[in-house]
Structure 1
Amino acid sequence: MTVRTTLSFTERHHRFLTRKVGQGVFASQSAAVAAALEQMIRDEEEREHALDALAEEVRARLETPRGDYLDMDEVFAAARARLADRCAAPEG
């Protein structure tokens, strides 16, 4: 179903829409606005999906027993050793 509405744009936005329609990127200014709204809807859906996935991961990690945690010193030991070697190596 199509609904008619009136929108107001800044001069900048109007020029952009007119240029894109003139270039054939969109059939009309309405089509351009509809495409922008569809992109906003997709962006919002993706953001919600990412936030849901993050919340799920946080919940899963909160359920991880303390005994399953990795020791930070052991995890980063190799990286610290490489950094120390690099800092000790003479330049040139």
Structure 2
Amino acid sequence: MTHKTTLSFTDRHHRFLTEKVGEGVFASQSAAVAAALEQMIRDEEERAILLDGMANEIRARMQTSRDEYVDPAPVFAAARRAI
């Protein structure tokens, strides 16, 4: 189902849309806007997946006991030598 709506664009955005339609990249300005919205939806979904993965990793690491921690001194010493 499609819905008709009215959108307003800056001169820059309107010029870009008009150029892309003229170049044949998109069939219409509506198609270009729909493609942009689809990309935004994919970006948001990917961001949610990544944030969920990070949250799960943080939760898992919070369960790590202190005796499993890595001593940072040798790691930083090696980094200082490299610098």
TM-score (structure 1 length as normaliser): 0.82
Higher RCO (C-alpha 8 Å, min separation 6) = 2
CA distance in 2, matches of 1:8, 1:81: 57
Please, what is the CA RMSD of the aligned residues?
A: 1.3
Q: Which runs of 5+ in 2 are unaligned?
A: none
CA distance in 2, matches of 1:19, 1:82: 50
Q: Which runs of 5+ in 1 are unaligned?
A: 84-92
1:13 maps to what in 2?
A: 13
CA distance in 1, matches of 2:14, 2:78: 57
Question: Runs of 4 or more off by more than 6 Å in structure 1?
Answer: none
Task: Name the count of aligned residue pairs.
Answer: 83
Instruction: Identify if the C-alpha distance between structure 1 residues 4 and 82 changes in structure 2 by more than 3 Å, giving closer, same or farther.
Output: closer
Q: Aligned AA for 2:65?
A: P
TM-score (structure 2 length as normaliser): 0.90
Deviation of 1:81 after TM superposition, in Å, equals: 4.2
2:66 maps to what in 1?
A: 66
**Cα shift readout 1:35-87 (whole Å, capped 9, x = no counterpart):** 0000111111111111111111110110001111111113344444444xxxx
SS at match of 1:57: helix
CA distance in 2, matches of 1:51, 1:68: 25
Identity %: 71
> Do residues 22 (structure 1) and 19 (structure 2) align?
no
